[in-house]
Amino acid sequence: MIEEDSAQRQFPCAFCMKAYKRKDHLQRHQKYHCKSLAQRPDFPCKLCPHVASSNFTLKKHLVQCHRNEAPT
């Protein structure tokens, strides 16, 4: 069963060799865990450690997670 699972993970990270079944999961890993690969600008939340990948996703995060909090 372990061999089957490994065979299905077709998308390895070139830097840490962790492998993923889906390309989008690899891309997410590279953006958040292999930061040296991420050349896109980051959009940090001023209320928590969250870092969004776009201004749109930051606004969505703020509404969903910090609706009742005022920025400092």
- pLDDT above 90 for 63: yes
pLDDT of residue 6: 54
- 45-72 core/surface letters (b: 16 or more CB in 10 A; e: else): eeeeeebbeeeeebeebbeeeeeeeeee
pLDDT of residue 32: 73
pTM of the complete model: 0.44
- pLDDT above 50 for 11: yes
Cα–Cα distances in Å, from 50 out to 4, 33, 55, 63? 35, 13, 13, 13
